[in-house]
Amino acid sequence: MAKTRSTTPPNLHIGGDLLAMDRGLRRLIENEARALEARFPNQSILWRVQIAEEFDPARGHRIRCEIDATPGERRQIVVREFRKDAREAITHAFASAGIQLQRLRRRSILPLAKAQHPTPASSNTLSPAGA
C-alpha cells in the first residue's frame, strides 16, 4: 500500500531554515492555515510562512515564525512571533494573524454598511420669520 503524503495547499508557501523541513512543524502550519481559511471562507488568502532559529545576545536562542498573509484587495498582513518553542511560535503567530484578518474584515465591511444605509439629512432649516 502506498504511503499517502499530504501535499501543501497551493496558496501556502513554507520557507526558512532546517525547521521548515520538519514534517511535524509543516503539518502544524498546514493545519493552522486550513483552520483560518475555514474561519474566513469567503476570502482567498495567500500564505507565506517563514520559520527560523535566531540568536539574540540578550535573550538567547529563539524561534521566529513570520506569517505574510495576503487576503486580496491589495492588502497584506505581516505577523512575527518569537518564542523558545517552535510549536508555540507557530500557534501564537497564527492566532495573531487570525485577529489581524478579523480586524481587516471589519474595516472592509464597515464602509460597505455605511454606503448601504445613508444617514438621513438633518432638517434644521429655519423657517423665515413672520411666516
Task: Tell me the three cell numbers of residue 18.
Answer: 532546517
CATH code where residue 53 lies: 3.30.160.100
C-alpha dist (Å) from residue 94 to 51, 85, 87: 12, 15, 11
pLDDT at 4 over 60: no
46-94 confidence digits (pLDDT tens): 999 999 999 888 888 999 999 999 887 778 899 999 999 999 999 999 9
Does residue 98 lie within any of the structural domains? Answer: yes
Assigned domain for 7 exists: no
Instruction: Let me know how long the chain is.
Output: 131
Structure confidence at residue 99 (pLDDT)? 93
Domain range for residue 100?
A: 12-108
